[in-house]
Amino acid sequence: MRAAVVVFPGSNCDRDMAVALRAAGADVQMVWHKDADLPADIDLVAVPGGFSFGDYLRCGAIAAQSPICKAVVAHAQRGGYVLGVCNGFQVLTETGLLPGALMRNSNLKFICKDVDLVVKTTDSAFTSAHTVGDMVRYPVAHHDGNYSIDSDGLARITGDDRIAFSYAQNPNGSVADIAGVLSENRRVLGMMPHPERAVDAGHGGTDGQALFRGLLDQLVSA
């Protein structure tokens, strides 16, 4: 599997993402926000966490206007895979690739801790190594992780089985405890918790490995 990791000024999980993807067997290239094109034959684009452009305006709003994001949208429209984590999830909602928005945490504080998540669907490459109802523990680190969507949108993503992960104990006020959402074609996943920070025992847990392993298994056998 060939993966590209997008780097913006202020990204801080780009290298963690590259390490996690390489550990799972991916061939990874970093791409800069000013690049207008992705490298050829990319299967997956990962949009990492961080504070792109200092979180000015709204988290992810300026990054979503960058040249590389046009290429990421085109990649998704061709049926390519995209994984957005934390600030990456915020960027994907700002590009319109995923529905909803990430608002300020309900307690108005930056939350940095490990959280338990429930796997809600296995109908995606990202969650294919799981069973529905599996619990995984990933870190969160954000101030704008409060997932919000209108009632029609919520009914649509619920009815389409597009909620990938929910929080066991909601840390940030997200509607319906949503921690991660899939696109209509199930190839774009955005999530606030960080699987790439849970792939090495030194991180305190390795639950994130299953996401990268599932992705690699599905994409290599496709």
Tell me the catalytic residues.
Answer: 86, 194, 196
DSSP string, the chain: -EEEEEE-TTB-SHHHHHHHHHHTT-EEEEEETT-SSPPTT--EEEE--B-GGGG-SSTTTTGGGSHHHHHHHHHHHTT-EEEEETHHHHHHHHHTSSSSEEE--TTSS-EEEEEEEEE----SGGGTTS-TT-EEEEEEEES--EEE--HHHHHHHHHTT-EEEEESS-SS--GGGEEEEE-TTS-EEEESS-GGGSSBGGGTB-TTHHHHHHHHHHHHH-
Rank residues 84 and 214 by Cβ distance to ligand GLN and give the closer one: 84
- Among the listed residues 144, 177, 196, 207, the single contact to ligand GLN using CB under 6 A: 144
Q: How far is the CB of 222 from ligand GLN (least distance, A)?
A: 29
51 forms part of the interface with ligand GLN (CB under 6 A): yes
Nearest to ligand GLN of 55, 177 (CB atom): 55
Q: Does 14 bind ligand GLN (CB under 6 A)?
A: no
Bridge pairing between strands 188-191 and 81-85: parallel
Distance of CA 174 to the CA centre of its chain: 15
Does 142 interact with ligand GLN (rule: CB under 6 A)?
yes
Q: Is 212 in the site for ligand GLN (CB under 6 A)?
A: no
Question: Looking at 124-132, 140-148, 159-167, 213-221, which segment touches ligand GLN (CB under 6 A)?
Answer: 140-148
| Total binding residues toward ligand GLN, as defined by CB under 6 A | 12
| Interface with ligand GLN, residue 115, by CB under 6 A | no
Q: Does 197 bind ligand GLN (CB under 6 A)?
A: no
Q: Is 49 in the site for ligand GLN (CB under 6 A)?
A: yes
Q: Using CA atoms, how far apart are residues 203 and 68, in angstroms rounded to an integer?
A: 30
Listed ranges 34-42, 136-144, 159-167, 205-213: which one lies at the site for ligand GLN (CB under 6 A): 136-144
Which residues inside 52-91 make contact with ligand GLN, applying CB under 6 A? 55, 59, 86-87
Where along the sequence are the contacts to ligand GLN (CB under 6 A)? 49-51, 55, 59, 86-87, 141-145
